[in-house]
Structure 1
Amino acid sequence: MARHGGTIDRDKVNATTEADIDRQAREDGTNDTSHLSAPYPTPATVRKTLHMTQKQIADLTGIPVATWRNWEQGRVGLDPAVQALLRILGREPDAARRALDMAAE
């Protein structure tokens, strides 16, 4: 078993009620989860806003076109990293393009 240092707080690990979990989150400062539900544009919205085909945006992001297509058609859920990528592409498309183009160099 790998050890990463620190100690385990057994009271927190063994919390049995939602009230215990909520109290511990407040004490730890981890009770603000608003960032977890932040809206993000859909893959199709991002692609259309950038005036790109599925192939073009897949090439830009390094994502297989079949994966992008599945995202657009709702066949596959979007994990948090994909949601973040969509927010970046949607809010800062020029910066995202520069950064992604640099990755291809």
Structure 2
Amino acid sequence: MTDEQVHAAAMADPDARPMTDAEFADAPRVPRARTLRRALGLTQEEFAARFHIPLGTLRDWEQGRAEPDQTARAYLRAIAGDAEAVQHALSAGPRRG
């Protein structure tokens, strides 16, 4: 099939029709915290405990009742970049000098 035929067939199938740009823009977003937690293979309880995030806060983020503030978004980016290093830093505690 040509690209045009594939596109026409997809558009003709009401059960598998691609989203329009408007539909895509209106679609609910999957919160980053949920995506990150699932990528790490953790339950909400495990993720919250491991990264010292209040469970209620994590649930609010995941269910769209609240958005992480700038600091929380930076923390989630750090977890996404190297979850093991963040976990190690949290378990090591403050350095004494």
TM-score range, shorter chain: 0.5 to 0.7
Q: Distance in 2 between matches of 1:99 and 1:69?
A: 24
SS in 2 for 1:69: helix
Tell me the number of residue pairs that the alignment of Structure 1 and Structure 2 aligns. 63
Residue pair 1:71, 1:78 contacting (<8 A) in 2 also: yes
Residue from 69, 74, 78 that aligns with 1:88: 78
Letter in 2 for 1:73: Q
- TM superposition outliers: structure 1 runs of 4+ over 6 Å: none
Structure 2 equivalent of residue 53 of structure 1: 43
TM-score (norm 2): 0.59
Unpaired stretches in structure 1, ≥5 consecutive residues: 1-40
Alignment RMSD, CA only?
A: 1.5
TM-score (norm 1): 0.55
Higher relative contact order (CA 8 A, sep 6+): 1
Unpaired stretches in structure 2, ≥5 consecutive residues: 1-30
